[in-house]
Homo-oligomer: A and B are copies of this chain.
Amino acid sequence: MNIDMIRAAADRLKGHARHTPLLSAPALDAIAGRRVLVKAECLQHTGSFKFRGGRAAMSALDSDQLSAGVIAFSSGNHAQGVALAARDFGAPCVIVMPSDAPTVKIANTRALGAEVVLYDRARDDRDAIGADLADDRGLTLIKPFDDPQVIAGQGTAGLEIAADAGALGVAQAEVLVCCGGGGLTSGIALALEADAPDMIVRPVEPEGFDDVARSLATGAIQTNNRRDGSLCDAIITPRPGDLTFPIMQRLCGAGLVVSEQDAQRAMVAAFNHLRIVLEPGGAVALAAALYHPDTTQTDTVIAVATGGNVDPALFAQTLRDFT
């Protein structure tokens, strides 16, 4: 896992993944008391950075693998990212989702051409279902984060941050990244190590699901007690990955933790001042930049806004509750 893999992924993604903008607003700078730049990955295809990793992994497959097809387990952003990438390659795509996933996510994934296989969370063994399907059809599994090509794909966002912040004259910054399993966080950290060595990545998580922060603090992989029940569902994972954690341990600063309420306040700030839509899990990094300015030191803070796939009713309620 190295910078050359990230640069190679960037070459393969060129013209396919969107080079997302680095946004800013005077009002956000005023709240944070420093310059805030927001990497708007909610504007990426399928509404999150996940398309980068999905497409990077798939574009590293050979033509036999592509024509046999791919499989992924996800009810969320990874599902849509993989489904769109597979459609682009004309590769058959199976997404294994729990039968109680929101109908809109099932519909969105199907609309991208994927075959959705539902399982019963209580009764079925998800991994066994996936393994049987993969065996029967020769499908290649696209993991959500703990895979070198996926990390390389997510890392392309870091190359863009280094280039675009550099063009603004920003060389030194804390780069806050909404963190689940650590694929994006470790990928960006590797990219910045090479292209912006005076920047440091810090993972941001919601309260109660701070496995990465605790793992970094203790120097050993820690797990979350709870597995669900957070508005920030997009970044809830049981523990950091075996590949991602050593990278984060070597390169990242201490993890930050914010409340769900802070994430919702940041959603409203992004709505008002950047006119972008963020989901709660995609807003925790901006929340840390805006509402915990005492925990960062640099004159400029860069917050990665990782996704914007949010239920309209939740977004409407958030606007009402936090305006």
Once the chains bind, are A275 and B21 in contact (CB under 8 Å)?
no
Q: Is the CB of A275 within 8 A of B275?
A: no
Assuming the A-B contacts A18-B21, A43-B21, are A312 and B323 also in contact, with contact meaning beta carbons closer than 8 angstroms in the complex? yes
Q: Shortest CB–CB separation between residue A72 and chain B, in angstroms?
A: 18
Given A271-B312, A275-B276, A313-B319; 11 other pairs, CB 8 A cutoff = A18-B23, A26-B84, A26-B112, A27-B111, A271-B277, A275-B278, A275-B309, A276-B276, A276-B277, A277-B277, A316-B319
From 55 to 101 in chain A, residues with beta carbon under 8 angstroms from any chain B beta carbon are: 84
Query: CB of A268 within 8 A of chain B?
Result: yes
Interface residue tally on A, bucketed by range: 35 or more
Which residue among A20, A271, A309 has the maximum number of chain B CB atoms within 10 Å of its CB?
A: A271
Is A181 in contact with chain B by the CB < 8 A criterion? no
- Residues on the B chain within 8 Å of A47, using CB: 275
The residues of A with any CB-CB pair to B shorter than 8 Å are 18, 20-21, 23, 25-27, 30, 40, 42-43, 45, 47, 84, 108, 111-112, 268, 271-272, 274-278, 308-309, 312-313, 315-317, 319-320, 323
Of B276, B278, B316, the residue contacting A320 (CB under 8 A) is B316
Q: Which 9 A-B pairs have the closest CB atoms?
A: A275-B308, A316-B316, A275-B277, A312-B319, A316-B319, A42-B275, A312-B323, A47-B275, A316-B320
Question: What CA separation (Å) do A319 and B42 show in the bound complex?
Answer: 18
- Chain B: which residue is nearest A320 at the CB level? B316
Residue of B nearest to A48 (CB): B275
Give how many copies assemble into the complex: 2
A5 CB, min distance to chain B CBs, angstroms: 27
Residues of B within 8 A of A271 (CB): 277, 312, 315
Given the complex, which residues of B lie within 8 Å of A315, measured CB to CB? 271, 316, 319
Chain B residues whose C-beta falls within 8 Å of the C-beta of A45 in the assembled complex = 25
A282 to chain B, nearest CB (A): 9
Determine if B276 and A43 form an interchain contact, defined as CB atoms under 8 angstroms apart. Answer: yes
Which of the listed residues A25, A27, A319 has the most CB atoms from chain B within 10 Å of its own CB?
A319
Docked complex Cα distance between A312 and B315 (Å): 10
The residue that A26 contacts in the complex, of B25, B111, B268, with Cβ under 8 A, is B111
Roughly how many angstroms separate A102 CA and B37 CA in the complex, as a whole number?
A: 28
Residue of B nearest to A47 (CB): B275
Q: How far is the CA of A97 from the CA of B30 in the complex (A)?
A: 24
How far, in Å, is A21 (CB) from chain B's closest CB? 6
